[in-house]
Structure 1
Amino acid sequence: MPRPSSDVQAFEVHATDADLDDLRGRLATARLPEAETVHHAPPGPRRWEQGVPLADLVGVVNYWRTGYDWRSFEARLDRIGQFRTTIDGLGIHFLHRRSARADATPLILTHGWPGSIAEFTDVVDELSDPKDADAPAFHVVVPSLPGFGYSDRPAATGWGTERIAAAWVELMGRLGYGKFLAHGGDWGGVITTTLGGRFPEHVLGIHTTFAEAPPGLTTDGLTAVERGWTEETRDFWRRRAAYAKQQATRPQTIGYSLVDSPVGLLAWILDKFAEWSDTEDSPFEAISIDSVLDDVTLYWLTRTGASAARIYYESHKSLDPALRVDVPSAITMYPRDIEKCPRTWARERYRRIVRWTEPETGGHFPSMEVPEYFVKDLREGLAAVLTARR
């Protein structure tokens, strides 16, 4: 394997005590609105139909101020291994865990919004050095998207998904990985699809929880379940995607609140964890409060609420209608994800689907909601991809 480039530098995270004190101070003096007018609703989705309920937010804010431990998350990042490098004029932060196994395959995991590298911190160890000696192992790379976390915030337009995909190829090359596997969901799924379609000479194959078919396909021949998927997806974009339209058209406007108010940032992100998770009421039925706060605090301390929102401005509906993916592809459609693509439609873009999975549980954040299943499914999907290349 080629040697890594010297352009890659080790990196450590350590928020100042002043920043953490400032966060706690802002949380203590937050001005909150009155309770939602559906506050008498019983537990269930209707309780959230105006957004995050006041009682839930107050509980999380109090824990964030008095019980949450950011230093524990910092230590976890350092244990995995953190680095930065400059690509195309922009500093890119990433986690990198090399497996001890000689037969390990390089794998890049790409997050989306409102996620971050926090989506994958609890699965890196098992992917790189599995307890089961017969399970496949991977050299795991988890980059922070431009404008997210400890990657630089772009100072000009142009950092859309196509440019990010090209940067990921450069990143992997600098680490000595000329050929690699790729996984992603949400924006990470768009970038992973772009990697497979644009760079087949470098990408061995892909696994994604997001599949977007080319436009203009009809529902003729779809099963009743698949027709239901298309209706749910259409309803999502018509009735539940105001956040995306705001971030795609006026990210700067919402950005002031996301960077200035930790409570505003928390509510903006917690709303999505609640609605997009496979739960009946609170997202904490499936995801720990600490995991959500790891993600939110990362946005807060890096002041990236506005810059992360701009990925929608740069890339909304950006996937090339003509793009086709001919490398082996494994696709998983979790039942409570916000967009689900029928397999018949997916075949029009992903022309070598070697594994298609429809789990019984899980939503938009499977690595956090169902981590054990996520790891198993990812392994099996990538194993199928590698087998197809032989």
Structure 2
Amino acid sequence: MLQNSTQCTSGSFLSVMISLLSMYFETPPVPNIDLNEWWGPECLQGHQDTSIRLFRIEFNESMIEDLRHRLRNTRQLTPPLKDSGSEYGFNTYEIPGWLQYWAEEYPFHERERMINRYPQYRTNIQGLNVHFVRVTPEVPPGVEVVPLLLLHGWPTSFLDFYELIPTLTTVSKDRGFAIEVIAASLPGFGFSEGAVRPGFGADKIAVVLRNLMHRLGHKKFYVHGADWGSVVASNIATFFPLEVLGYHSSMPSNNSPIALILRLIGAVRPSLVVRPELEDRMYPLYTQLDKILKEFGYFYIQATKPDTVDIALTDSPAGLLAYYFEKISVATRIYYRYMADGGLKNHFTREQLIDNLMMYWVPNSIATAGRIYAESNSLRYFSLQIYSIPSEVPTWIMQAKYEISYIPPWMYQLKYPNLLNETVLDTGGHFLALELPHVLAEDILQAMIEFQRWHEQHKVHIEL
């Protein structure tokens, strides 16, 4: 299943090209960061409760009855076109069975207990109540406990990491440390509040979550991210390189001008850019463009007018389910768009999928979550040129076979010169934490071992 390759360096031709391009693209400075920027209601500024409070997710009876009523009274859906699979969107013949399960068979209170099996908390950061799971292992004397921040993406939730937690928090005599896991809901997602004014992009979210770690007593920490969580984690590593001990990503990306130009060069001669056995993950370029044109409609909507579509997703659980399933399906395997059932049952349980939907339906957070696309694809955000700012943080990347895109490790080194390793999977899709939790957890553990070795070799004093 796994292919491991240590960090790669670019060939002589690309080294020359990078040097020439660098003459025309100056490295931008790290942006000025306001650690106290306020994102909550103005009337509460200076009066918020900054304590760390226990939190419990509740599926109360009134919510359940309202949800069941909406599910039972869904209008008759328009039949799909003959033999179209899910090419026009998630197949409407499949929807009634899922709605029936959600309304009549989904074990609400059993799943509520499952979701609450790990300790959960909320605390107010910069005016926003931020929700997180915190699991601290019991360790024998002399064993160091190090903090790891886990960040999910859209349209999933902190529940992505539930199956990783037992592996990550297991105390092993083979390691000189144990891990405290903090799995946060991104602000605006799930039970974390969203901003009340514009401008709350991935850079601002990064500051809030860094401040969360400080609130928990962790001045230095490790971080893993997927999807938007990877973008936020990368922002944290860029803004606070002396605080991030190591950055692990299962969706690495670099959209700097230099990286984009080099990708285009590879379209003419792929061997200059990517190893032959991985060439089909990047080229031919028209296959990538076809994917963008056919599958990124949601991206353009949410990056421009997220609130309009979110009215439908907020009001209709059937609409929320179909929208969610379409993205889960195609991002797991691109060819699942030709299947009526979207291939979902090949990788996920029914409970897993509905659990994640509940993390948007119960707190009514699909609208605030969707705004991350608009706020992080704005002129303000692009002007920061974050992808072009190198970070010295030691880094480790894991790339699944069916991830949305692939980036060669040498290209990622333009952003993270201390890239220690690339783990290449010959299976797996975008939602790796749900699909292959044990594989991902083991890779994070190995990365943290190597991060510590890197710090020892560089004689960096780590004080948590």
What's the TM-score once normalised by structure 1's chain length?
0.92
TM alignment of 1:15-164, pairs within 5 A: 15-38=59-82, 40=83, 47-101=85-139, 102-129=143-170, 132-134=172-174, 137-164=178-205
Give the whole-Å Cα distance in 1 for the aligned partners of 2:410 and 2:291. 21
Pairing partner for 2:426 from 346, 353, 360: 360
Preserved CA contact (<8 Å) 1:86 1:92: yes
Q: Is 1:284 the equivalent of 2:345?
A: yes
Give the whole-Å Cα distance in 2 for the aligned partners of 1:25 and 1:128. 41
Give 1:14 deviation, angstroms: 1.2
Give the whole-Å Cα distance in 1 for the aligned partners of 2:155 and 2:241. 28
For residues 274-313 of structure 1, give each alpha carbon's deviation from its aligned partner in whole angstroms, at most 9, with x where no partner exists: 1111485412201111101100111111111111110101
Corresponding residue SS for 2:292: helix
TM alignment of 1:223-372, pairs within 5 A: 223=274, 224-230=276-282, 231=285, 232-278=287-333, 281-316=342-377, 318=381, 320-372=386-438
Give the whole-Å Cα distance in 1 for the aligned partners of 2:294 and 2:372. 21
Give the whole-Å Cα distance in 1 for the aligned partners of 2:174 and 2:68. 46
Give the whole-Å Cα distance in 2 for the aligned partners of 1:305 and 1:12. 20
Residue type of the alignment partner of 1:164: I
Preserved CA contact (<8 Å) 1:77 1:95: no
Preserved CA contact (<8 Å) 1:116 1:149: yes
Give the whole-Å Cα distance in 1 for the aligned partners of 2:291 and 2:408. 16
Corresponding residue SS for 2:427: coil
Residue type of the alignment partner of 1:94: F
Give the whole-Å Cα distance in 1 for the aligned partners of 2:50 and 2:375. 31
Give 1:6 deviation, angstroms: 6.8
Give the whole-Å Cα distance in 2 for the aligned partners of 1:365 and 1:83. 25
User: Which position in structure 2 is the counterpart of 1:382?
Assistant: 448
Give the whole-Å Cα distance in 2 for the aligned partners of 1:305 and 1:32. 24
Give the whole-Å Cα distance in 2 for the aligned partners of 1:376 and 1:285. 22
Pairing partner for 2:273 from 222, 234, 257: 222
Residue type of the alignment partner of 2:369: A
Higher RCO by CA contacts (8 Å cutoff, separation 6 or greater): 2
Give the whole-Å Cα distance in 2 for the aligned partners of 1:91 and 1:284. 35
Paired residues, what number? 379
Give 1:173 deviation, angstroms: 1.0
Are the structure 2 counterparts of residues 150 and 367 from structure 1 closer, same or farther at C-alpha, using a change threshold of 3 Å? same
Corresponding residue SS for 1:336: coil
Give the whole-Å Cα distance in 1 for the aligned partners of 2:443 and 2:290. 28
Residue type of the alignment partner of 2:248: H
Give the whole-Å Cα distance in 1 for the aligned partners of 2:300 and 2:113. 36
Residue type of the alignment partner of 1:342: P
Residue type of the alignment partner of 1:255: D
TM alignment of 1:149-228, pairs within 5 A: 149-213=190-254, 214-217=256-259, 218=262, 219-220=265-266, 221-223=272-274, 224-228=276-280
For residues 210-264 of structure 1, give each alpha carbon's deviation from its aligned partner in whole angstroms, at most 9, with x where no partner exists: 2222223313411345553333544433331010110010111001001100000
Preserved CA contact (<8 Å) 2:118 2:135: yes
Corresponding residue SS for 1:389: helix
Preserved CA contact (<8 Å) 1:233 1:338: no
Provide the identity percentage: 28
Preserved CA contact (<8 Å) 2:161 2:437: no
Corresponding residue SS for 2:117: helix
Corresponding residue SS for 1:377: helix
Residue type of the alignment partner of 2:76: L
Choose 1 or 2 for highest CA Rg: 2
Give the whole-Å Cα distance in 2 for the aligned partners of 1:152 and 1:112. 15
User: Which position in structure 1 is the counterpart of 2:30?
Assistant: none
Residue type of the alignment partner of 2:64: L
Q: Pick which of 233-242 and 220-229 moved more.
A: 220-229
Provide the alpha-carbon RMSD of the alignment: 1.9
Preserved CA contact (<8 Å) 1:11 1:83: yes
Give 1:129 deviation, angstroms: 2.4
Preserved CA contact (<8 Å) 1:119 1:367: yes
Preserved CA contact (<8 Å) 1:258 1:264: yes
Preserved CA contact (<8 Å) 2:50 2:125: no
Are the structure 2 counterparts of residues 329 and 235 from structure 1 closer, same or farther at C-alpha, using a change threshold of 3 Å? farther
Residue type of the alignment partner of 1:118: L
Give structure 1 regions of 4+ aligned residues with deviation exceeding 6 angstroms: none
Corresponding residue SS for 1:264: helix
Residue type of the alignment partner of 1:190: V
Residue type of the alignment partner of 1:229: R
Q: Pick which of 115-124 and 187-196 moved more.
A: 115-124
Pairing partner for 1:13 from 40, 57, 62: 57
Give the whole-Å Cα distance in 2 for the aligned partners of 1:161 and 1:134. 36
Are the structure 2 counterparts of residues 92 and 36 from structure 1 closer, same or farther at C-alpha, using a change threshold of 3 Å? same
Q: Pick which of 291-300 and 154-163 moved more.
A: 154-163
Give the whole-Å Cα distance in 2 for the aligned partners of 1:235 and 1:325. 33
Corresponding residue SS for 1:379: helix
What's the TM-score once normalised by structure 2's chain length?
0.78
Give 1:63 deviation, angstroms: 0.8
Give 1:155 deviation, angstroms: 1.3
Give the whole-Å Cα distance in 1 for the aligned partners of 2:354 and 2:429. 19
Give 1:133 deviation, angstroms: 4.3
Residue type of the alignment partner of 1:60: W
Residue type of the alignment partner of 1:159: F
Give 1:103 deviation, angstroms: 2.3
Q: Pick which of 267-276 and 66-75 moved more.
A: 66-75
Give the whole-Å Cα distance in 2 for the aligned partners of 1:36 and 1:382. 48
Give the whole-Å Cα distance in 1 for the aligned partners of 2:76 and 2:222. 45
Give 1:68 deviation, angstroms: 1.0
